[in-house]
Chain A
């Protein structure tokens, strides 16, 4: 019969709230797994504090969650590989001309479907465009769509979810119902319906669509994260001091609640890249003359028997990119998760 708390624990993220009691928790007392000497898991355990006699002092370097995460990541080969791939992608997205001198839109029908040859290592498309150049330029679309959609989703989702979680009440309940509705919409089907009326060939409608349909996922994560951080006594302590809601949110809740959002946004990034390709393949995403792996895959698919190279290069690039972001999201999650320490 615990005393009721104002807000029920949120769905989703679980906070590493320490258990009370001057006792060790039943498992792995003391030494194991970066726990503090007094038992409850240290939220971002590093060296548990101990001290010399008489009040004593802490030990270990001052490190925070990010510093710890960085230390872990640096040593992780998966992180190093995926980070290198991503850095490379970003560089060629910014300056594709660095490695591809040609113009992705200048095509020579006379060379349609031709295979690799000096100067054109990936061969030519059905329209006689250079596959290598198009694949390189396609990275720009993918990276731009992925990054912008992730940022948009993270921003909208965490602001809405975070505020709902913090203030609770009617708007929280309303938001929860709205997210429920969005969860019911199949993304690809929604794209087919909504984007088919768009004629613009820029990336914005696609990004906008993705943000519109996937922000509820992030808002749930953010809401849960805020709810669990809100339960912590340090938030109550600040409230008892008379701190304003702005201070509570920015100073106490945001820094502690942001990690799960970042992790999910990173993983979502790969989904967005794949989704852009899917939508473009289906003809509702980007439209020519935009350069996109999805478009190229779509254009190449009728010729897969005779000229597989037209499909394999953009598809391979897509797979590698998606994989790199998934792996990055994975290792970032592990590095930021105090429970795995």
Chain B
């Protein structure tokens, strides 16, 4: 799709979000922290779609929430057009918010049941009165509803009179109202019926072309992410495991976790049943309150060696591929990314014997 312009409009550097674990009734004592996001960096160019995939608890939703200022990052920087927005507040924050909007996962809880659709879509103008003159708002709301494929005459109805797909359209219309440059979409289609998902994906793509939007598209459905994304980032336990273009990630994954994840996706092709080689992952995702030392994936990885427990792997293009280029030359946070081995036998379970 869009070719990548040099200047990113959004730049995230070493983003960290820890949730303190506290004890105590009135005066809380800090006993530890859940490291939901622990050093994530990426950038987003204008008009581009960056997909973030990962399993529940990997921190992808937390990243989304920090970008739209629903959470304050514990550390790290988020730059919008070169300006650090992490510590903004008041008027300056409000101005930035106009440009970064969010679309939520659950169309049932993301619309206020006590407000009409017109009020919901028009609320951004009430909060940001400078965005549209008062007399013009009604017309704009109608326009927005039309843009997302809803009859503008439904502006007077309440959300519960709409189905999930329609509600998601309403949520998207609200997100578009302020003409943002960036839309953060947290699992926007995963609560929808299969036959409706495609409609919403198409709508989002159409809107992107029409308004030049940049998307941060978060989902666990790998095929949808591939379809819509220019670049994909894979997250595991609060860190990025691998980033690259969709082809680089899907066709030439170099991080063991990405490989396992891709191999686990059921393909709607019964003929592939015999061919598929699933890489089973040992054990379970460790608690983000006590992540493993070194590489976070090592407790479940068949490639793990002693070095993995000692050194945190950097998200960088593997040395071996750096010179040669090609699709495998994309950032991967694995010490042994360049070793193309597959697990050939059921490997150990959990931490045992892995130098934990």
- In the complex, whether B157 has a CB less than 8 A from a CB of chain A is yes
Across the interface, do A6 and B160 meet the contact criterion of CB distance under 8 Å?
A: no
- In the complex, whether A173 has a CB less than 8 A from a CB of chain B is yes
- In the complex, whether A232 has a CB less than 8 A from a CB of chain B is yes
Q: Which one of A17, A51, A64, A239 lies within 8 Å of B114 (CB-CB)?
A: A64
Across the interface, do B158 and A252 meet the contact criterion of CB distance under 8 Å?
A: no
Given A38-B163, A49-B166, A242-B128, decide whether A62 and B106 contact each other with a Cβ distance below 8 A. Answer: no
Say how far B305's CB is from chain A's closest CB, in angstroms.
26
Across the interface, do A65 and B114 meet the contact criterion of CB distance under 8 Å?
A: yes
Provide the main secondary structure of the chain A interface.
loop
- In the complex, whether B194 has a CB less than 8 A from a CB of chain A is yes
Q: Which one of B70, B161, B169 lies within 8 Å of A59 (CB-CB)?
A: B161
Cα(A44)–Cα(B109), bound, Å: 12
How big is the A interface, by class?
35 or more
Say how far B57's CB is from chain A's closest CB, in angstroms.
4
Say how far B30's CB is from chain A's closest CB, in angstroms.
14
Cα(A2)–Cα(B117), bound, Å: 31
Output the nearest chain A residue to B28 by Cβ-Cβ distance: A173
Given A38-B163, A55-B150, A242-B94, decide whether A234 and B62 contact each other with a Cβ distance below 8 A. Answer: no
Which residues in window 236-291 of B have CB below 8 A to A? 285, 287-288
- In the complex, whether A184 has a CB less than 8 A from a CB of chain B is no
Which of A18-26, A110-118, A128-136, A186-194 contacts the other chain? Answer: A18-26
Across the interface, do B190 and A240 meet the contact criterion of CB distance under 8 Å?
A: no
Query: Could you say which residues of chain B place their CB within 8 Å of the CB of A64?
Result: 114, 158
Say how far B1's CB is from chain A's closest CB, in angstroms.
25
Say how far A94's CB is from chain B's closest CB, in angstroms.
33
Output the nearest chain B residue to A41 by Cβ-Cβ distance: B108
Across the interface, do B160 and A45 meet the contact criterion of CB distance under 8 Å?
A: yes
Query: Could you say which residues of chain A place their CB within 8 Å of the CB of B108?
Result: 17-18, 36, 38, 40, 42-43
Across the interface, do A22 and B163 meet the contact criterion of CB distance under 8 Å?
A: no
Across the interface, do A2 and B57 meet the contact criterion of CB distance under 8 Å?
A: yes
Q: Which one of A44, A55, A233, A238 lies within 8 Å of B151 (CB-CB)?
A: A55
- In the complex, whether A57 has a CB less than 8 A from a CB of chain B is yes
* Max chain B C-beta neighbours (<10 A), residue from A45, A51, A59: A51
Output the nearest chain A residue to B61 by Cβ-Cβ distance: A3
Cα(A22)–Cα(B200), bound, Å: 13
Q: Which one of B101, B111, B178 lies within 8 Å of A234 (CB-CB)?
A: B111
Given A38-B193, A173-B25, A241-B97, decide whether A57 and B288 contact each other with a Cβ distance below 8 A. Answer: no
Query: Could you say which residues of chain A place their CB within 8 Å of the CB of B166?
Result: 49, 51, 55-56, 58
Which residues in window 1-49 of B have CB below 8 A to A? 19, 25-26, 28, 34, 36
Query: Could you say which residues of chain A place their CB within 8 Å of the CB of B106?
Result: 17-18, 20, 233
Across the interface, do A44 and B113 meet the contact criterion of CB distance under 8 Å?
A: yes
Across the interface, do B164 and A38 meet the contact criterion of CB distance under 8 Å?
A: yes
- In the complex, whether B149 has a CB less than 8 A from a CB of chain A is yes
Say how far A21's CB is from chain B's closest CB, in angstroms.
6
Cα(A58)–Cα(B157), bound, Å: 8
- In the complex, whether B343 has a CB less than 8 A from a CB of chain A is no
Which residues in window 46-72 of B have CB below 8 A to A? 56-57, 59, 61-62, 65, 68-71
Across the interface, do B161 and A60 meet the contact criterion of CB distance under 8 Å?
A: yes
Cα(A234)–Cα(B169), bound, Å: 14
- In the complex, whether A307 has a CB less than 8 A from a CB of chain B is no
Query: Could you say which residues of chain B place their CB within 8 Å of the CB of A59?
Result: 161
Cα(A174)–Cα(B26), bound, Å: 6
Provide the main secondary structure of the chain B interface.
loop
Output the nearest chain B residue to A57 by Cβ-Cβ distance: B151
Which residues in window 237-286 of A have CB below 8 A to B? 237-244, 247, 251-252, 255-256
- In the complex, whether B209 has a CB less than 8 A from a CB of chain A is no
Given A49-B162, A62-B158, A256-B114, decide whether A234 and B150 contact each other with a Cβ distance below 8 A. Answer: no
Query: Could you say which residues of chain B place their CB within 8 Å of the CB of A177?
Result: 25-26
Q: Which one of A62, A170, A241, A255 lies within 8 Å of B156 (CB-CB)?
A: A62
Query: Could you say which residues of chain B place their CB within 8 Å of the CB of A256?
Result: 112-114
- In the complex, whether A195 has a CB less than 8 A from a CB of chain B is no
Cα(A220)–Cα(B193), bound, Å: 38
Cα(A252)–Cα(B114), bound, Å: 8
Across the interface, do B110 and A1 meet the contact criterion of CB distance under 8 Å?
A: no
Output the nearest chain A residue to B97 by Cβ-Cβ distance: A242
Cα(A37)–Cα(B192), bound, Å: 11
- In the complex, whether B316 has a CB less than 8 A from a CB of chain A is no
Query: Could you say which residues of chain B place their CB within 8 Å of the CB of A247?
Result: 127
Across the interface, do A237 and B149 meet the contact criterion of CB distance under 8 Å?
A: no
Say how far B194's CB is from chain A's closest CB, in angstroms.
6
Say how far A168's CB is from chain B's closest CB, in angstroms.
11
- In the complex, whether A33 has a CB less than 8 A from a CB of chain B is no
- In the complex, whether B329 has a CB less than 8 A from a CB of chain A is no
List 20 A-B pairs, Cβ < 8 Å: A3-B61, A21-B190, A22-B192, A36-B108, A36-B164, A38-B192, A43-B113, A55-B150, A55-B166, A58-B154, A64-B158, A233-B105, A234-B110, A238-B127, A239-B70, A240-B70, A240-B102, A242-B97, A247-B127, A256-B113
Show the binding face of A for B, using Cβ within 8 Å. Answer: 1-4, 6, 17-18, 20-22, 36-38, 40, 42-51, 54-60, 62-65, 170, 173-174, 177, 232-234, 236-244, 247, 251-252, 255-256
A46-B160, A57-B150, A58-B157 given; name 13 further pairs at CB < 8 Å. A1-B56, A20-B191, A22-B191, A42-B108, A48-B163, A51-B166, A58-B154, A174-B26, A236-B104, A237-B171, A239-B70, A242-B127, A243-B123
